[in-house]
Amino acid sequence: MPEATSRVEATLDGFLARAQALARGDGSWTPPPLRDAATVVLLRDGQAGTETYLMRRARTMAFAPGMHVFPGGRVDAIDRIVGEDLPADAFPFATEAARAGADEAQLRALVACAIREVEEEASVELGADGLVLIDHWITPEVETHRYDVRFFAAVVPDGQDATPRGTEADAVAWLPPTQALGAHRSGSMPMLPPTVAVLEFLADHGDAAAILAAGAQRDLAPRMPHPVLNADGSLRWVILNERTGAILAERLGPPEASEVLGATGVPSAMRAP
């Protein structure tokens, strides 16, 4: 058996074994701790309607290589320092902390992280007052890298445009949400479930202002895919409220191989930085 095929099979087998251990609750797999992270859904209103900025993660990335994502990353120590100094009136920290599932210090760090990441990855300078919380997802317990991710949305300020920077992305594009979803469903743009869910939310609204207004009113229950053991011993996947354990939705199927292994291939909708 070729070495590369052997590694792929070992990765998939390990994923399935961890999922079964979690579903059985036998304690043989201890999920790694969560790390706070922030993602920014950049928006602009174009001739074809609202567009959002997507990046394809470089295949060299340890987490989700080749997957199409919004700009973002984990909270670093500098974000906690910068967050402390953000003006009290720059963002509704006190009122939004509960909705974000965080305390005010955490939320300040998340906002600082969002601003830093979008500048580092897309060369867009945002103010805290331009960000709106729109979603909250948790990396499944079965994964070896796990993040507690808050999704913010923001309109790109006048006079600025997203320009890729750094080595994390090897292709980028501004796309209408419906076009991105179509490319995903055709198999040409692999995405993780949170990205798909956010795009579906964007597609339900007519313009960027409507997206921000609706996002500010959303229930942000922290959603996490989770394996459940059926009576016959098979697995099914559900979406849990990570904080309460309540089942929010049944997932239509198990994770795709690309969610476990990452993905490669440059679709026609994307361009190299």
**242 part of a folded domain:** no
What pLDDT is attached to residue 48? Answer: 80
Question: Position of tokens 């009113």?
Answer: 217
Q: Is residue 270 part of a domain?
A: no
Nearest to 49 by CA among 180, 145, 170, 192: 180
The CATH number assigned to the domain holding 55 equals: 3.90.79.10
- Looking at residue 231, its amino acid is A
pLDDT of residue 62: 62
Residue 1 lies in a domain: no
* Cα distances (angstroms) measured from residue 127 to each of 60, 87, 123: 31, 11, 13
Identify whether 92 is part of a domain: yes
* Helix 177-186 with 193-203: angle, nearest 10 deg: 140
Question: Does 214 fall in a domain?
Answer: yes
The pLDDT value recorded for residue 11 is: 81
pLDDT for res 1: 44
**Among 136, 164, 141, residue whose Cα is nearest residue 248:** 136
Q: How many domains does the chain contain in total?
A: 1
Domain assignment present for residue 239? The answer is: no
Can you give the pLDDT of all 273 residues of the chain as single tens digits?
Answer: 455 557 777 888 888 999 999 999 999 999 999 999 999 999 999 888 999 999 998 777 667 778 899 999 999 999 999 999 999 999 999 999 999 999 999 999 999 999 999 999 999 999 999 999 999 999 999 998 899 999 999 999 999 999 988 777 888 999 999 999 999 999 889 999 999 999 999 999 989 999 999 999 999 999 999 999 999 988 999 999 999 999 999 986 778 777 777 776 555 566 666
**pLDDT value at residue 31:** 95
Domain membership flag for residue 141: yes
Check: CB of residue 153 under 8 Å from CB of residue 134: yes
Residue keyed to tokens 């709106």: 132
What are the Cα distances from residue 86, in Å, to 50, 118, 120?
Answer: 30, 17, 19
Within 10 angstroms of residue 145's Cβ, the number of other Cβ atoms is 11
Rounded distance, CA 63 to CA 65, Å? 6
What is the model's pLDDT at position 266?
54
Q: Is 11 part of any domain? A: no
pLDDT, residue 117, reads 97
* Domain carrying residue 179: 31-222+256-261
pLDDT of residue 72: 96
Q: What local confidence, expressed as pLDDT, does residue 95 receive?
A: 94
